[in-house]
Amino acid sequence: MPALRKSLLLAGLAVGLLAPGSAAQAQLDALLFDRDSSRLNDVFQNAFADAASKAQAATAEVLDETGDRVILATAVSADGLFVTKASELPEGKLRVRLAAGPGQAQARVVEVKLLGTDAATDVALLDAPTGTTTAAWARTGARVGQFVVTVGTQEPVLAVGVVGVGERKVPGNSPLLGVGLGEALPQVIGVPVQRVLPDSGAAAAGLEVGDVIVTFMGVPVASREALVEAIGKLEPDVPVELSYRRGDRVVEATTTLGRRDRFGSSRARFQNEMGGALSQRGGGFPLAFQHDTILRPVDVGGPVVDVDGNVLGVNISRSGRVETYTLPPAEVRRVVAKITEDVDRHASRQ
Amino acid sequence: MHELVLRPVVKRFRAVVLAAGLAAAVGGTLQVAPAQARPADARVPTSLAELRDLERRVERTVARVMPAVVAIRGGVGGGSGVIITEDGLVLTAGHVIGAPERFVTLTLADGREVRGRTLGVSRRSDAGMVQITDPGPFPFVKRGTSNALERGQWLLALGHPGGLQEGRPAVLRLGRVLANRPLGIVTDNTLVGGDSGGPLFDLAGNLVGIHSRIGAVLVQNVHVPIDRFDEEWDRLAAGEAFGVREMARAPEASGSYLGIEIEQTETGIRVAAVVPGFAAEEAGLQPGDLIEAVGDEEIGSLPKLLAVLNFLHKPGDEVKLTVRRGPGQVLRLNATLAERP
């Protein structure tokens, strides 16, 4: 009977997996997941192939040293200018793999020059020593509910979604020190620390509950509001100096401000990362629209098209479980013009 | 921990968000079309014309229902909700409001802030209700039914992911029904914290569910079926808090019993032994048979077999088993499930 006992045990284990609590429902959903009933349905995605193939030749892959894609790029001129996402570019020499054109069996890999970047939009402009095919850009802005198709290089349809929010200014990450503060005591300079977030800039500075922050960026801290305001004026990832009193000692420390969306609510961050990796830089765009397309960070940088194959914009970030952002055509043109002007000005000075 | 209640952003570390001048400015009462969800709503569009048709319906519906979507602050943090009567009755998730008799602030789609009071909370289904206490009329949407939702049916989700953001209206997500169970509609309309309490609509704009919780992958988004609100309506409207937290537990396994001992082998799910006197013996299952499907569900693993028997079926159900016996021989056997002894 050993075989029978083993199978009983197996059955018991499996039931155990399903029965005890919150993981069970998710387990069940995963087991019963049927791709055909989902929006990932292949027939549905392929229905956009004609539209996407119109922009496929204008799509390229930026490669790392080993030849793997780090990000996509979009051709913006017939003489080889591409835009892509600046913060995902590798150091050193840049190569792109162009989409295989009609009659070409093999996609070409060419070295490209980084002409410049725009910090506000996180756009980089690349110059390829070759002519390229450009796509037709949409004349009207993205509408809420409209289908958007992210175009790939190997296959035309990389992913499909709908526009969730029309064009707007997308807020950036607000800076965060990572402390919970009490009220300043009357007559005493400094604000007491009541909580320190793990992995935050505050934790890195060695701050502990009970410490009193006395100066921030060289300025005495008069109140909780004053400190919050001083932090709010800075950008995430900038180094800051502060000093704090512990017992009768004063400690000076340098640390880096975090990003509120990453550290401020670990639960929100956790939920957003459930379901896939996110782009390094996910917000702070002057003008972008939002859609629900499920992308990996390496799928960003390429064009998105409407059902007719007109380019609605360039994907600029995968920012959360429910958010992918795209720069509209006018914004792409503005940034390209800005970077090329900077390049020209620089060249004329030399 | 795969399944999380969709708590909004943690309040303590969240900047105060001021609602100002949202884009969608709509006044008066929302017109609700009497349209029914069509049978074709579960179909996958395959031609450009069909894509356009689906796109047009989504665009039209979102424009029509958007004015009734609200953000809720107060309660135990915040979330989303939807107005369903002209005088401002709001449906939301129970965990968004926490308890009855609390004061909350609601931000309407036009940016207006109004006051409200929480009514009932079902800890069982995660249904919740709020009454706007400021005078109406308010734009509202029509309630549909959820029991007839089909697998694959296209649905629209709206809400305020991450909490209300200045200048950002409710965010649309499109998805399809993956499973429709009494305790939750599962869709691939992706949700995140802050969406809780937000509405799920069919293509005709009927309210069919309220966002409740998410799982680890993008295809696990769970909504309270609108029919559950109907069942619990009187207690919700009366401002009761009731029920135990069933939604966070597994749905009760039904205890269906086929009467076999099974083992997972390289070739599949193999019947190791048949227990005399139960369904499997009556159906003619034999040791060595490989179970390939139960009804329409393919059985690729032992947990899946148990999941299908326990959660998709109950004792007394007649199920069709697809069984492979020896090379090339596939049998279809009928078995009536018994209660696990």
pLDDT tens per residue across span A261-281? 554 445 565 666 655 677 777
* Position A8 pLDDT exceeds 50: no
- Comparing A213-222, B35-44, B98-107, the range with the smallest average pLDDT is B35-44
- Identify the closest residue of chain B to A9 by CA–CA distance: B263
Say which of A4, A43, A321 has its CB closest to residue B46: A43
* Position A183 pLDDT exceeds 60: yes
* Position A186 pLDDT exceeds 80: no
Cα separation of B54 and B295, whole Å? 31
B100: nearest Cα among B242, B243, B245? B242
Interval B299-319 mean pLDDT? 79
- Identify the closest residue of chain B to A20 by CA–CA distance: B250
Which H helix or E strand runs over A226? helix A224-232
Per-residue pLDDT of A198-249, as tens digits, reads 778 898 899 999 999 999 988 888 888 888 888 877 777 778 899 999 988 8
Do B130 and B90 form a contact (C-beta atoms < 8 A)? Answer: yes
Cα separation of B166 and B144, whole Å? 31
Chain A interface test: which of B1, B3, B289 (most A C-beta within 10 Å)? B3
- Comparing A259-268, B10-19, B41-50, B140-149, the range with the smallest average pLDDT is B10-19
Interval B134-139 mean pLDDT? 95
* Position A169 pLDDT exceeds 50: yes
Residues of chain A contacting B220 with CB distance shorter than 8 Å: 26, 29-30
Q: At what angle do helices A22-32 and A2-18 cross, to 10 degrees?
A: 110
**A22 — contact with chain B (CB < 8 Å)?**
yes
Question: What pLDDT was estimated at residue B142?
Answer: 96
Is there a contact between B263 and A22 if contact means CB atoms under 8 Å apart? no
Say which of A14, A146, A271 has its CB closest to residue B4: A271
- List A84's β-bridge partners, or say none: A73, A124
Tell me which residues of chain A, numbers 84 to 123, contact chain B at a CB-CB cutoff of 8 Å.
none
Question: What pLDDT was estimated at residue B249?
Answer: 38
Q: Which band of pLDDT confidence, cut at 50, 70 and 90, is reported for residue B229?
A: very high
A282: nearest Cα among A263, A262, A255, A256? A262
A118: nearest Cα among A287, A258, A260, A236? A287
Cα separation of A109 and A62, whole Å? 9
Question: What pLDDT was estimated at residue A1?
Answer: 33
The percent of residues in chain A predicted with pLDDT above 70, rounded, is 83
**CA-based torsion, A299, A300, A303, A307: positive or negative:** positive
Is there a contact between A320 and B302 if contact means CB atoms under 8 Å apart? no
Residues of chain A contacting B15 with CB distance shorter than 8 Å: 174, 260
Return mean pLDDT, chain A.
Answer: 83
Do B104 and B226 form a contact (C-beta atoms < 8 A)? Answer: no
Chain A interface test: which of B53, B158, B185, B218 (most A C-beta within 10 Å)? B218
Tell me what ipTM this predicted complex has: 0.75
